[in-house]
Amino acid sequence: MEKTSADLGSLQDPTQELVDSPLSAIELARREILTHAGRDFASQRRRPFTVGQLERLVEAAAFRLDQSIAEREVVDIADLQSRWNTIVSGFYETGFEGYTDDVPERPRVVAEPPHPSKELVPFLRTFFVPVFINKSILFFFGVQYSRYPGQGYGYGLVFMILFTLSSFVYFCWKESGKPESVS
């Protein structure tokens, strides 16, 4: 025999019973808290937990929260949130003791100084450009300006003087940030 819509209407929706009871409201809030529990535990740490550690930590916190619910320490959602905050704070106060011991410390990477041949090319470029190229162009504009003062060679001379000075300042600024190599 098929059930008619009248027969189905007499059945109550099981989820409606959960929403109406105060215990179910606490259970729904508990589920919501535990859904986002990983964020509560991982937000203030230098090193993140591994997935296994975080699962163990959330299980332990959920167990403590369930104990509070079973012992009737929690009577409404505000009490539940307050109790959860106390549990999370307790883990922070103990330094997550028992939940961080299997994470090895990350090895610190010590940068080796570059090979001297890799530093030679920038130094040679820094030496040859100002000494030969800039000085040659500066010399050319200086000689041409002294021979033909009104022909516009003065602009080139001023530009080369400023360019040479700015190259020197750039070199000093760039090399000031490098650590000295100790031999």
DSSP per position, 91-149:
HHHTTSTTTSTTSPPPPPPPPPPPPHHHHHHHHHHHHHIIIIIIHHHHHHHHHHHHH-T
**Residue 144, pLDDT above cutoff 90:** yes
Q: Can you tell me which residue has the tokens 């000295």?
A: 180
The pLDDT assigned to 112 comes to 80
Q: What is the pTM of this model?
A: 0.42
Six-digit token string for 10? 């007499």
The share of the chain scoring above pLDDT 70, in percent, equals 72
108 falls within a domain:
no
The share of the chain scoring above pLDDT 90, in percent, equals 11
Asked if residue 148 and residue 85 are part of one domain, the reply reads: no
CA nearest neighbour of 134 among 173, 171, 174: 171
Asked if residue 54 and residue 123 are part of one domain, the reply reads: no
24 falls within a domain:
yes
What 3-state class would DSSP assign to 157?
helix
| Residue 132 domain boundaries | 116-176
In the chain, the number of structural domains is 2
Cα distance between residue 136 and residue 180, in whole Å = 32
The distance of Cα 95 from the centroid of its chain, to the nearest Å, equals 21
**Residue 3, pLDDT above cutoff 50:** no
**Residue 27, pLDDT above cutoff 70:** yes
Domain boundary among 59, 93, 127: 93
The pLDDT assigned to 23 comes to 58
* In contact, 80 and 26? CB cutoff 8 Å: yes
155 falls within a domain:
yes
Q: Residue 97: pLDDT band by 50, 70, 90 thresholds?
A: low
Asked if residue 123 and residue 88 are part of one domain, the reply reads: no
DSSP labels, 52-76? HHHHHHHHHHHHHHHHHHHTT---S
